[in-house]
Amino acid sequence: MASIKDIQEEIIDEFSMFDDWMQRYEYMIELGKSLPLIDDQYKTDDNLIKGCQSKVWVHAELEDDKLVFTADSDAIITKGIIAILIRAFSNQKPQDIIDADTEFIDEIGLKEHLSPTRANGLVSMIKQLKLYAVAYQTQLK
Amino acid sequence: METSLDIQAIRKDFPILQRQVNGQPLVYLDNAATSQTPDQVVNTIVDYYHGYNANIHRGVHTLSQEATDAYEIARQKIQKHFNIAHSYEVIFTSGTTHGINLVATGFTSFLKKGDEIVVSAMEHHSNIVPWQMLCERTGAVLKVIPMNQEGELVMDAYHDLLSDKTKLVFCNHVSNALGTVNPIEEIIEAAHKVGAAVLIDGAQAAAHIKADLQALDVDFYTVSAHKMCGPTGVGMLYGKQEWLKKLPPYQGGGEMIAEVTFEKTTYADLPHKFEAGTPNICGGIAFGAALDYMNNIGFDAIAHYEDGLMQYATEQLLSIEGLRIYGTAKNKTSVISFNIEGIHPYDIGTILDKLGIAVRTGHHCAQPIMDFYKIPGTVRASFSFYNTKEEVDVLVAGVKRAKNMLV
């Protein structure tokens, strides 16, 4: 199983092939479309991260000692970024998720989506992924 | 009547329009959120701080006198612009929201349980929440004037809502989310027949329509300077003097008092009773400069030009398959709210931003309207007199490109 860092490097490599924002966004939109959907039973208000504009649902489940995330959004670009985050963070040990950084988002040219003042709920989403990790880490102990 | 504008000359007054965003020339179509500021207004701000920055109404020194004079001249400009009977009926505020809260708070002691206040279905949150808070304080009930699919108020329903229980009616002059121009003359006249007071939120109208407040016979009218080429953080509340005399002060502080002892304070006369503390002096003066600027161009010419631009944009946008415009009132101005079938407005806004086009996406602080249409939000392009047909073409091409990417 690849580490979070390895996967992030892989994603950076993929994005380095693109020359301009159009290609990056087209790729992200493709990723968004292929994001495995969250099971409908988990698309609840409890799992909803309220950004100002697009909705984001995240669900976490522990499988053995690893945390598996599923998520969805009503906006496709948001979904693309979620797909990237989930690829990096899902199926990893809670402690590794807690320790991981998200600088790779800058490196693939999507920094603007992670500004805390941008109303898309993504900063809250990363926070939520980490909170799940903290909660399950406590449970594992 | 002069109705043609030299747009290229006008655009030179707004240096910001020359900048690039994401490597593309800026196309600024978020004028309903805030308008850009011309050099003439910026220079007024600079002149104030370079030349005569001082506190007003209290100093005997020259700077204070100059600042006081300039501030009071600005008040008179506002008075003249809105055809207000007395300059002391012009209250400087921090903006429309402040004006609404001042009135809503002031009415607390005038309302009792069972009284009714009437609001339109297409209000900005700032013209809903203060009244809900007023209802909570007093036990009054909020009634809503419904709207139809075109985004027009159902006036028969409005007339049915009015009764001797109605104490207050409030409505926006122009809807920020849909662009509908509401029939405020009829709203005001009917409300007065049952003895209710009327507050009109003119925030969205003020850049497009020069309202004659005496002719309207409205009780309260409130605007923000930043939507009409002025700076942020300043606006005005008009109130008829009989209402302003009756309403209690909103905030206590300096400037708003006549005499203070620890036993009792007597309040200052209008308008100072409502202007506690040091106001946004420079902002008020710049507001006056913004009115001068717009009046120099002329509101008839502005309205004529913007209508043409909106018609053109409407036709061009509707040529895109799957595009729906929300708000198709017969009488509307300068706002086009739209969605493309199957695409979230946030996605379109994100791509447009990459193309240098500034639009607003989301619920535009008018969630009840979005609930009415059962949508999460819209993309809103809003126009000003400094926008051009070429910019509309860039918008339309951008929306087409976004659609191709997102579908």
Residues B303 and B232 in one domain: no
| pLDDT reading at B2 higher than 60 | no
Q: Would you state the structure tokens that stand for residue B180, as one six-digit string?
A: 């509908």
- Flag if A76 and B343 touch (Cβ within 8 Å): yes
Q: pLDDT band at A133, cuts 50/70/90?
A: very high
| pLDDT reading at B350 higher than 60 | yes
Residue B316 CA to residue B226 CA, distance in Å, equals 29
A-chain CB neighbours of B344 within 8 Å are 54, 74-76
| pLDDT reading at A120 higher than 90 | no
* Domain-embedded: residue B126: yes
Of all residues in chain A, the one with the smallest CA distance to B376 is A53
A26 touches chain B (CB under 8 A): yes
Q: pLDDT band at A140, cuts 50/70/90?
A: confident
Residues B50 and B114 in one domain: yes
Residue B93 CA to residue B101 CA, distance in Å, equals 10
Percentage of the residues of chain B whose pLDDT score is greater than 90: 85
Residue B228 CA to residue B384 CA, distance in Å, equals 9
| pLDDT reading at A52 higher than 60 | no
| pLDDT reading at A49 higher than 60 | yes
B363 to B28, B138, B148, B201, B323: CA distances (angstroms): 19, 29, 18, 18, 17
B-chain CB neighbours of A25 within 8 Å are 350-351, 354, 405
B-chain CB neighbours of A22 within 8 Å are 354, 405
List all residues of chain A from 77 to 136 with a beta carbon under 8 Å from chain B: 77-78, 119-120
CA distance A117 to chain B (A): 15
| pLDDT reading at A19 higher than 80 | yes
* Domain-embedded: residue B232: yes
Highest mean pLDDT (candidates B70-84, B253-267, B271-285): B70-84
B-chain CB neighbours of A72 within 8 Å are none
- pLDDT, tens digit, 9 for 90 and up, residues B140-163: 999 999 999 999 999 999 999 999
Residue B119: closest CA among B366, B329, B382, B328? B366
B-chain CB neighbours of A119 within 8 Å are 362
Residue A50 CA to residue B363 CA, distance in Å, equals 14
B123-141 burial: b if 16+ Cβ within 10 Å, else e: bbebbbbbbeebbeebebe
B230 touches chain A (CB under 8 A): no
Average pLDDT over residues A123-135: 87
pLDDT higher for B8 or A118?
Answer: B8
- Flag if B377 and A74 touch (Cβ within 8 Å): no
Looking at CATH, the fold of the domain delimited by A4-138 is given as: Sufe protein. Chain: A (3.90.1010)
| pLDDT reading at B366 higher than 90 | no
Model pLDDT, residue A116: 59
Residues B263 and B134 in one domain: yes
CATH of the domain at B17: 3.90.1150.10
Domain limits of chain A? Answer: 4-138
Contact B402, B352 (CB under 8 A): yes
- The parent domain of residue B261 ranges over 42-295
- Residue in this structure with the two tokens 């693939």, named with its chain if needed: A108
Residues B53 and B140 in one domain: yes
- pLDDT, tens digit, 9 for 90 and up, residues B186-237: 999 999 999 999 999 999 999 999 999 999 999 999 999 999 999 999 999 9
Residue B120: closest CA among B143, B98, B89, B148? B143
Residues B97 and B54 in one domain: yes
Number of domains in chain B: 2
* Domain-embedded: residue B36: no
* Domain-embedded: residue B35: no
- Residue in this structure with the two tokens 């203070």, named with its chain if needed: B260
Residues B254 and B233 in one domain: yes
* Domain-embedded: residue B316: yes
CA distance A129 to chain B (A): 23
B361 touches chain A (CB under 8 A): yes
Q: Would you state the structure tokens that stand for residue A92, as one six-digit string?
A: 């990893």
Residue B167 CA to residue B345 CA, distance in Å, equals 39
Q: Would you state the structure tokens that stand for residue B139, as one six-digit string?
A: 């036990």
- For chain A, what is the radius of gyration of the CA atoms? 14
A37 is catalytic: no
- pLDDT, tens digit, 9 for 90 and up, residues B94-125: 999 999 999 999 999 999 999 999 999 998 88
Percentage of the residues of chain B whose pLDDT score is greater than 70: 99
Model pLDDT, residue A105: 83
Residue A8 CA to residue B393 CA, distance in Å, equals 40
Name the active-site residue from B135, B229, B282, B365.
B365
Model pLDDT, residue A126: 84
Residues B288 and B308 in one domain: no
- pLDDT, tens digit, 9 for 90 and up, residues A73-95: 888 988 888 899 899 999 999 99
- pLDDT, tens digit, 9 for 90 and up, residues B173-182: 999 999 999 9
* Domain-embedded: residue B15: yes
Of all residues in chain B, the one with the smallest CA distance to A73 is B344
In this structure, what is the dihedral angle of CA atoms B47, B52, B55, B58, given to the nearest 10 degrees? -140
Residue B58 CA to residue B76 CA, distance in Å, equals 20
- Flag if B406 and A120 touch (Cβ within 8 Å): no
ipTM of the complex: 0.86
Which of A73, A76, A78, A120 is the best substitution to test chain B (most B C-beta atoms within 10 A)?
A76
| pLDDT reading at B171 higher than 70 | yes
Name the active-site residue from A41, A52, A116, A141.
A52
**Chosen domain end from B295, B330, B348:** B295
Q: pLDDT band at B34, cuts 50/70/90?
A: very high
A19 touches chain B (CB under 8 A): no
Q: How many CB pairs under 8 A join A and B?
A: 39
CATH of the domain at B172: 3.40.640.10
- Flag if B377 and A29 touch (Cβ within 8 Å): no
Q: Would you state the structure tokens that stand for residue A65, as one six-digit string?
A: 């000692």
Which of A25, A30, A110 is the best substitution to test chain B (most B C-beta atoms within 10 A)?
A25
Contact B195, B64 (CB under 8 A): no
Residues B384 and B268 in one domain: no
Q: How far is CA B22 from the centre of its chain?
A: 30
CA distance B252 to chain A (A): 34
Q: pLDDT band at A121, cuts 50/70/90?
A: low
pLDDT higher for B250 or B66?
Answer: B66
List all residues of chain B from 297 to 356 with a beta carbon under 8 Å from chain A: 343-347, 350-351, 354
CA distance B118 to chain A (A): 28
| pLDDT reading at B1 higher than 50 | no
- Flag if B346 and A25 touch (Cβ within 8 Å): no
- pLDDT, tens digit, 9 for 90 and up, residues B46-94: 999 999 999 998 778 999 999 999 999 999 999 999 999 999 999 999 9
User: Which runs of consecutive H residues, i.e. helices, occur in B225-378?
Assistant: 241-246, 281-297, 299-318, 345-354, 367-373
Residues B159 and B232 in one domain: yes
Residues B305 and B280 in one domain: no
Residues B167 and B240 in one domain: yes
DSSP string, B216-236: HT-SEEEEEGGGTTS-SS-EE
Q: Is A1 exposed, middle or buried (0-12, 13-18, 19+ CB in 10 A)?
A: exposed
**Chosen domain end from B266, B295, B324:** B295
Model pLDDT, residue B182: 97
Residues B245 and B116 in one domain: yes
Of all residues in chain B, the one with the smallest CA distance to A74 is B344
A-chain CB neighbours of B405 within 8 Å are 22, 25-26, 29
Model pLDDT, residue B3: 56
> At residue B236, what are phi and psi to the nearest 5 degrees?
-140, 145
pLDDT higher for A5 or B362?
Answer: A5
**Chosen domain end from B277, B295, B313:** B295
Model pLDDT, residue A118: 63
Model pLDDT, residue B250: 86
DSSP string, B153-201: B-HHHHHHH--TTEEEEEEESB-TTT-BB--HHHHHHHHHHTT-EEEEE
CA distance B407 to chain A (A): 10
- Flag if A54 and B344 touch (Cβ within 8 Å): yes
* Domain-embedded: residue B1: no
